[in-house]
Amino acid sequence: MIELKNICYSVTDEHSGKTNVILEDINLTFPDNSINVITGQNGSGKSTLIKLISGIETPTGGSILYNGEDITGKSITERAKMGFTTAFQNPIRFKGITVRKLLDIASDHNNNLAGLCDYLSVVGLCARDYIDREMNDSLSGGELKRIELAMAMAKNGGVFLLDEPEAGIDLWSFDSLTKLFTRLSGKTVLIVSHQRKIIDIADNIVLLDKSGAPVVGKREEMLPRINENRNVCSVIEGENANG
């Protein structure tokens, strides 16, 4: 279980000295064995929330607890070793580092072809075509995104933090992506998404709002609320999605 207690996060502009509050006094609980979709308007702090939990950013106030332990001061590496797995919204490119090497690092052992195939086939890629390729611009945005998700699968762990996993996915169906999430049963899964099909598989929905406290609830409770809320509806991408 992950608990956010009175979390604040603000950034100060170096030039103007002006402070921009991104998250203010956020209290949230993400239970074990649950899929939690975090949604809300652009700029509501969704990606920031993921970065705070993975340790990429440090909160300016409050604390983060994992299974009762305060992990606020723990580094990215320490959290990764505790079982926190992060898939970035924008995959990172590496000149000279192959897909195989990244999957080996993620899984913390050298994989044979069968093992690599297992990670890549769940994101719809054939291992033979990709393992020796560099994670660079020779791959399309959609391929990079799928490899990013394959790395998360290879890394494994108890907590999955997925920032817009559907963004840029090309020629691959949403059904396959949601099927991938079913492999994460038993984990604590946080997904930042605007996509209706992803929201539909959530156990819990967190609706972040710049102007107030986040609204949290079970999917069935939250769906009417999302549908009613025109501001949020405007950012939910629905029926015209891929697949």
Partner 1 sequence: MDKLDSELLYKIADLHGIPEGSYNIRKDGKSLARSSDSDIEITSRKDGKEGIDIFVRPGVKNKSAHIPVILTQGGLLDVVYNDFYIGKDADVTIIAGCGIHNDTCGEARHDGVHTFHLEEGSTVRYIERHYGEGNPEGKKEFTPVTRVFMKKGSTLIMEATQLGGVTNTDRLTTASVGKNARLIIKEKLMTSGDERAVSRFRVKLIGENSSVDVVSRSVARDRSYQAFISDVIGKNRCFGHVECDGILLDEARIVSTPKIDAVSPEASLVHEAAVGKIAGEQLIKLMTLGLTEKEAEDTIIKGFLY
Residues at the site binding partner 1, with contacts judged by CB under 8 A: 54, 56, 75-77, 80-81, 84-86, 88, 92, 94-98, 101-102, 105-106, 108, 151, 155
Cβ(84)–Cβ(162) under 8 Å?
no
Smallest gap from residue 163 Cβ to partner 1 (A): 11
Q: Which lies closer to partner 1 via its Cβ, residue 94 or residue 175?
A: 94
Residues 6+ apart with CB under 8 A from 212: none
Q: How far is the CB of 5 from partner 1 (least distance, A)?
A: 23
The runs of H, that is alpha helices, within the chain are: 46-54, 76-82, 99-107, 113-121, 127-130, 141-155, 174-182, 196-199, 219-228, 230-233
Closer residue to partner 1 (CB): 51 or 197: 51
Rg (C-alpha) for the chain, rounded Å, is 18
Say if residues 142 and 171 touch (Cβ distance below 8 Å): yes
- Closest distance of CB 193 from partner 1, Å: 19
Q: How far is the CB of 129 from partner 1 (least distance, A)?
A: 20
Query: Quick count: other Cβ atoms within 10 Å of Cβ 69?
Result: 9
DSSP per-residue string spanning 52-67: HHHTSS--SEEEEEET
Among residues 92 and 213, whose Cβ is nearest to partner 1? 92
Do strands 19-30 and 212-218 pair parallel, antiparallel, or not at all (unpaired)? unpaired
Residues facing 161 on adjacent strands: 86, 190
Return the DSSP state at 15.
T
Q: Which is nearer to partner 1, 92 or 235 (CB)?
A: 92
Q: Which is nearer to partner 1, 53 or 202 (CB)?
A: 53
Amino acid at 128: R
The span from the CA of 189 to the CA of 169, in Å, is 19
Residue whose CB is less far from partner 1, 101 or 210: 101
